Chain A
Amino acid sequence: MRVEYINPFVESSVSVIRETLGVEVKREQITLKSKAVPILDVAVIVGLVGQVEGRVLFDMKRETALKIASNMNGEKISEFDELAKATITELGNMITGRAVTKLSEMGYKFDVTPPAVFSGQNMEISDSEIEALIVPIETPMGRIEINVALREK
């Protein structure tokens, strides 16, 4: 997978998290996975269809999701309820929106599916034809992994 696809997602994740949550974030080492990848408790997934196709997933521990939702709502949220889900989805929306704008400016044409959020334990994701790049981002609320599997059609 070409690194130029992943950079917009990493840059927008860092800037959106920094601006929206008002916290400092640190980007960790990128890893490349060609087989099944474990995903953390809460994940937002967005699909891309067009000249660039595949999916982008943002995952984090439930505890991190609750801290982020609490921060964004200005109130303590201790259950992963509708409001928490909508908040995490919205964060995914903001990150994707900014990344997609960058990719469009680079000349790629594609559509994006609305983000879907899912949660569970011991989950993993397999992409049969596209290898996944994972960029962990450390925040004071915990780690968020940006897991990108995209290819040019």
Chain B
Amino acid sequence: MSDNKTPVGSKGDGTFFKALIIDDSVFVVKQLSQILQSEKFEILGSANDGIEGFEKYKELHPNVDIVTLDITMPKMDGISTLEKIIEFDKNAKIIMISALGKEDLVKKALISGAKNYIVKPLDRDKVLSRIETVLKK
């Protein structure tokens, strides 16, 4: 991303998109936060499992513009968390984060209402372009 370009996190009216990160890996939370913050996204919060993630979403609703949701997590996995969030807010914009080799679960997530997915390892440009696509829809 060049310095002259409008940051991906900009809504274009002087405000910025707000993100919620749900992932059990502190490494991935840190990586995603850094990528998003570098493009001016505001990180509203993060959660390390599905139960906490769903609670955070409800608490922060309707301020969350985008959710990144890990597929494999303890307590409540990404698919169940996705279903709960969509049941609560059918307009939720959720991007699944998946390890390679989980294609079946990714398909299931897309059918259940996820807007897109990103396969790890997380590449900065790939993360930003997928999120941008979802936010523009």
Chain A residues at the B interface, C-beta cutoff of 8 Å: 16, 19-20, 72-73, 82-83, 86-87, 89-90, 93-94, 96-98, 100-101, 104, 112, 114
Q: In the bound complex, do residue A104 and residue B101 qualify as a contact, i.e. CB atoms below 8 Å apart?
A: yes
Interface residues of B in 45-101 (CB under 8 A from A): 72, 99-101
**How far does the Cβ of A56 sit from chain B's closest Cβ, in whole Å?**
13
22 residue pairs A–B, Cβ–Cβ below 8 Å? A20-B121, A72-B27, A73-B30, A82-B26, A83-B27, A86-B25, A86-B26, A89-B25, A89-B27, A90-B27, A90-B120, A94-B100, A94-B120, A94-B121, A96-B99, A97-B99, A97-B101, A98-B100, A100-B101, A104-B101, A112-B101, A114-B72
Closest to A74 in B: B34
Interface of B is mostly: loop
**How far does the Cβ of A14 sit from chain B's closest Cβ, in whole Å?**
15
A86 to B32, alpha carbons, bound, how many Å? 14
Closest to B119 in A: A97
Chain B residues lying within 8 Å of A101, measured Cβ to Cβ, are 100-101
Chain B residues at the A interface, C-beta cutoff of 8 Å: 25-28, 30, 72, 99-102, 119-121
Q: In the bound complex, do residue A86 and residue B100 qualify as a contact, i.e. CB atoms below 8 Å apart?
A: no
With A97-B99, A100-B100, A104-B101 in contact, is A86–B27 under 8 Å at CB?
Answer: yes
Interface centre among A72, A73, A93, A98 (most CB of B within 10 A): A93
A17 to B121, alpha carbons, bound, how many Å? 11
**How far does the Cβ of A5 sit from chain B's closest Cβ, in whole Å?**
15
Closest to B73 in A: A114
Chain B residues lying within 8 Å of A87, measured Cβ to Cβ, are 27
Q: In the bound complex, do residue A16 and residue B121 qualify as a contact, i.e. CB atoms below 8 Å apart?
A: yes
Chain A residues lying within 8 Å of B100, measured Cβ to Cβ, are 94, 97-98, 100-101
Cross-chain contact of B27 among A19, A73, A96, A100 (Cβ < 8 A): A73
**How far does the Cβ of A64 sit from chain B's closest Cβ, in whole Å?**
17
Q: Which 10 A-B pairs have the closest CB atoms?
A: A97-B100, A100-B101, A86-B27, A97-B99, A87-B27, A86-B26, A86-B25, A90-B27, A97-B101, A94-B121
With A98-B100, A104-B101, A114-B72 in contact, is A93–B26 under 8 Å at CB?
Answer: no
Chain A residues lying within 8 Å of B99, measured Cβ to Cβ, are 93-94, 96-97
Chain B residues lying within 8 Å of A104, measured Cβ to Cβ, are 101
